[in-house]
Structure 1
Amino acid sequence: MSVILATAGQDDKIRFWEAPSGICSRVLRYADSQVNCLEITTDKQYLAAGGNPHIRLFEINNSSNQNPILCLEGHAGNVTSLGFQRNGRYLYSGSEDGTVKLWDLRSPTYSRSFDSKGAVNSVALHPNQAEIISGDQNGSVKIFDLGSSKCISDIIPDSRSSSTSSHGRVAIQSVDVSDDARTLVAANNHAEVFVWNPADATMNQSNGEPCRPVAKFRAHPLGAYLLQARISPDCRSLVTTSSDRTARIWDTATWQLTQTLSKHKKWVWDAVFSADSSYLVTASSDRSALLWNLRTGTPVRQYTDHDYAVTCVALNDSST
């Protein structure tokens, strides 16, 4: 299959879609839990789904097998974020149990666990494949070195929100690193976005210096919750999604708003870019996902068979 598109959420089902037609081609049951996050391997062979508290791995190209081929047990709370290392042999995950875990997919148990000292909302793998970044509910952005198994950076962004308590700490809802390794983004649930150079983030921390962002801005209106922030594969755009029912596109050169995508009727939980960064899929509490053409800023396809909120989406349309 050239395009793999999957959505999931609160109805305990994972749905695969024929992206151009909007037809649901396959449904997998995810027993015992809602689905919080999805990720597809680079080779399009496997889909990982994170729930409460387990991670399940499914075969994509074997429609006769509806059961997971691997169930990863070890987290003690909601798995909020996950991803694969480039070769697909390892999976990393973050959980509300306060840990970031690394899994060797040849084994059902985790190979390494890092203590975030706070419920983890988001994890991202540095393009060097040697560092994992986490964002947690204590308002901290941590960088873990896989070689030494140590936390090499712990950044607490200074929130500007007047309603902020706990000395300026606001829960970090989403973290991401650009594929060119030049941009680290962290967004809190008050819709404030902080931008660093990842190299500066680790260097300043090692020198004991404060790590000041190179840019910071509010992505959505005061009072709105930010739910997701992702950098496009071409590193030129950032998408943020929110309770204000929009997804917004930002230029990473200027950090200016370029598009507001506003066809959803309820919260927009997740978004993922196409491989060429010209399309975007969004997932919403209105029980739908939308495929957007970013050249025109308009939706070109809707995916609507879910019974409840759609909270996560995965897309792999790469040609390699």
Structure 2
Amino acid sequence: MPPHSVAPKANSARQDLSVVLVTGSYDHEIRFWEAWSGICSRTISRQGDSGQVNRLAISPDKRLLAAAIHKKVNVYEISSSSDAPILTFEGHKGNVTAVSFHFEGKWLVTGSEDGTIKIWDLRNGQKHRDYDNGAPVNDVCIHPNQGELISCDQAGSIKQWDLSENVCLLDLAPAGDVPIRSVTIASDGSCLVAGNNKGKCYVWKINDDTSEFPRFQAITKFQAHYKYLTRCLLSPDVKYLATCSADRTVRIWSIGRNWDFKHEKTLEGHQRWVWDCAFSADSAYLVTASSDHIARLWEMSTGETVRQYSGHHKAAVCCALHDGPG
């Protein structure tokens, strides 16, 4: 376990500032939490601003927090006590549903219900590139090679985009027009997992050794939940997959050597839909956000809640955690 883990600390007298844990809610608030104590250390209140907080992302150096808020993205300085963003990116015409930082922190990618994916330059605050996805975007992730994007959408497509050019390299539709809700790619670039509105997950192996760009090979599919799936996320060590659902649970799947996914345990405790999740850097803990207004910290080995974060007044729909090196 890393020295700055989210693991509870019995004798610590102050917050471990190297752990950044944030939640966003329909109450228009963004809350920073002391991971081990469960205390809210900072609240960014936006009561006068329209639109709920949809997604959150922490920059690799832990300096910035990007918050997708209705049709725009606000970028906040994590070390600051100010509620004012240092940057605001406007240009989407629909709800922003995805936000992610480039590993060097130089640019930000966003996806929206307006059917576009946009690249924003954090150095000059300008839009760098537009991609026309052709359908409302539900999720976007950056390939570990930092040269491609993977998106999924309401039309049931998973697309691979080349970041050096405005071109779609691959278009997959594993279940016809059933909307794909979430995509996640392994930290080593070895596989891609997508989950759809009917609770089914699809897995592809990514081969990089045969072409300039990854080639996707369908490996398996399985029924993760029997209700709406909201998020799927591979652990940093690529040993587990977490799936969140409208059935109020999070299911943990262990990943075998032959890419077989086995149901390991079910995390139960949330009283309403579970919308989002985030792994700790060592894959030993998972944070979840739910419509029951609460976020939880789970210990993966036991499947038990070890901390609860209470303070939001409406649904907690997104969370972000960074406890690795900055």
TM-score (norm 1): 0.92
Alignment of 1:213 onto 2:230:
no
**Aligned runs of 1:145-164 on 2, under 5 Å?**
145-158=162-175
Q: How much has 1:199 moved relative to structure 2? A: 3.1
Amino acid at match of 2:225: H
Match of 2:290 among 270, 284, 289: 284
Query: For residues 141 and 57 of structure 2, what CA distance do their matches in structure 1 show?
Result: 12
Q: 1:206 to 1:281 in 2, by over 3 A?
A: closer
SS of alignment partner, residue 103 of structure 2 = coil
Query: For residues 314 and 143 of structure 1, what CA distance do their matches in structure 2 show?
Result: 24
- Which structure 2 segments of 5+ residues have no match? 1-16
- Which digits, 9 at most, give the CA deviation of each residue in 1:74-97, with x for residues without a partner? 111111011000011110010000
Alignment of 1:18 onto 2:34:
yes
Partner of 1:249: 252
Match of 2:128 among 91, 102, 111: 111
Alignment of 1:59 onto 2:64:
no
Match of 2:188 among 172, 180, 193: 180
Q: How much has 1:29 moved relative to structure 2? A: 2.1
Residue identity (%): 48
Q: How much has 1:176 moved relative to structure 2? A: 1.1
Q: 1:109 to 1:182 in 2, by over 3 A?
A: same
- Would you tell me which structure has more strand in proportion to its own residues? 2
Query: For residues 148 and 80 of structure 1, what CA distance do their matches in structure 2 show?
Result: 23
Query: For residues 274 and 294 of structure 1, what CA distance do their matches in structure 2 show?
Result: 10
Q: How much has 1:33 moved relative to structure 2? A: 1.1
**Aligned runs of 1:225-240 on 2, under 5 Å?**
225-240=228-243
Amino acid at match of 1:16: F
Alignment of 1:42 onto 2:45:
no
Partner of 1:141: 158
Q: How much has 1:148 moved relative to structure 2? A: 2.3
Query: For residues 59 and 84 of structure 1, what CA distance do their matches in structure 2 show?
Result: 14
Query: For residues 86 and 263 of structure 2, what CA distance do their matches in structure 1 show?
Result: 42
Query: For residues 80 and 198 of structure 1, what CA distance do their matches in structure 2 show?
Result: 25
Deviation larger for 89-98 or 249-258: 249-258
Alignment of 1:316 onto 2:322:
yes
Partner of 1:303: 309
SS of alignment partner, residue 214 of structure 1 = strand
Q: How much has 1:206 moved relative to structure 2? A: 10
Partner of 1:161: none
Query: For residues 101 and 185 of structure 1, what CA distance do their matches in structure 2 show?
Result: 22
Partner of 1:4: 20
Query: For residues 68 and 32 of structure 1, what CA distance do their matches in structure 2 show?
Result: 15
Q: 1:251 to 1:21 in 2, by over 3 A?
A: same
Q: How much has 1:212 moved relative to structure 2? A: 5.6
Query: For residues 14 and 73 of structure 1, what CA distance do their matches in structure 2 show?
Result: 19
Indicate conservation of the 8 Å contact 2:144/2:188, yes or no.
yes
- Which digits, 9 at most, give the CA deviation of each residue in 1:265-303, with x for residues without a partner? 000000000000000000000000000011111000000
Amino acid at match of 1:171: P
Query: For residues 95 and 319 of structure 1, what CA distance do their matches in structure 2 show?
Result: 30
Match of 1:262 among 240, 261, 268: 268
Q: 1:247 to 1:111 in 2, by over 3 A?
A: same
Residue-pair matches, total: 305
Indicate conservation of the 8 Å contact 1:152/1:206, yes or no.
no
Q: 1:301 to 1:175 in 2, by over 3 A?
A: same
Match of 1:75 among 70, 89, 92: 92
Partner of 1:162: none
- Which digits, 9 at most, give the CA deviation of each residue in 1:153-209, with x for residues without a partner? 000003xxxxxxxxx320010011101100111111111101102337x96x999xx
Query: For residues 240 and 116 of structure 1, what CA distance do their matches in structure 2 show?
Result: 25
- Which structure 1 segments of 5+ residues have no match? 159-167
